[in-house]
């Protein structure tokens, strides 16, 4: 029976949890996730966990922060002048916004703090700094 190797296109059902058991994402009720193994489309730990699996195999893997979204980085925190927000917008901690850089790339940020003159924006991935647990089921190869 065929086993997953780098370069294979696979379909996978998954249930992603944090170490406290709370769910952060799942394919339940949706089509399985389809991607090419080893292409960088998913985090390294997810890719590596699928290697050598066969269709129908199920397993649970713990993915350390280094093979997930990495550690939280202070250089991903930025101050943004409160006066640059639209007049009709009230910045609130936890609000997710989308910003663009000088080349037009759009990326999500979350308001981490609101101070008198500035708003602190966090551009870290929401799962940065966390070990992840995935329940995986290989649906198809190819």
Instruction: Going residue by residue through the chain, which has 142 residues, state the pLDDT in tens, using 9 for 90 and above.
Output: 899 999 999 999 999 999 999 999 999 999 999 999 999 999 999 999 999 999 999 999 999 999 999 999 999 999 999 999 998 999 999 999 998 888 988 999 999 999 999 999 999 999 999 999 999 999 999 8
Residue 101's pLDDT is what? 83
Neighbouring-strand partners of residue 13: 137
User: Is residue 42 a contact partner of residue 35, using CB atoms and an 8 Å limit?
Assistant: yes
Residue 100's pLDDT is what? 87
CATH architecture of 9-70+127-141: Roll (3.10)
What does the alpha-carbon distance between residue 33 and residue 120 come to, in Å, rounded to a whole number? Answer: 34
Neighbouring-strand partners of residue 77: 122
Domain ranges within the chain, ordered by starting residue: 9-70+127-141, 74-122
Q: What is the pTM of this model?
A: 0.83
Residue 1's pLDDT is what? 82
Q: Matching CATH topology for 9-70+127-141 and 74-122?
A: no
Total length of the chain: 142
Longest Cα–Cα distance of the chain, Å, equals 63
What does the alpha-carbon distance between residue 28 and residue 44 come to, in Å, rounded to a whole number? Answer: 22
What does the alpha-carbon distance between residue 76 and residue 134 come to, in Å, rounded to a whole number? Answer: 26
Termini Cα distance of the chain: 13
CATH architecture of 74-122: Beta Barrel (2.40)
């Amino acid at each position: 029976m065929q086993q997953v190797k780098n370069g294979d296109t696979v379909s996978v059902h998954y249930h992603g949890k944090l170490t406290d058991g709370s769910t952060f994402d799942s394919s339940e009720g949706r089509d399985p996730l389809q991607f090419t193994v080893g292409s960088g489309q998913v985090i390294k730990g997810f890719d590596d966990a699928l290697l050598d699996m066969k269709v129908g195999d199920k397993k649970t893997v713990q993915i350390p922060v280094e093979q997930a979204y990495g550690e939280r980085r202070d250089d991903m925190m930025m101050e943004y002048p409160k006066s640059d927000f639209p007049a009709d917008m009230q910045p609130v901690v936890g609000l997710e916004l989308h910003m663009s850089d000088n080349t037009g790339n759009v990326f999500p940020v979350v308001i981490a703090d609101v101070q008198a003159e500035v708003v602190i924006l966090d551009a870290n991935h929401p799962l940065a700094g966390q070990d992840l647990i995935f329940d995986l089921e290989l649906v198809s190869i190819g």
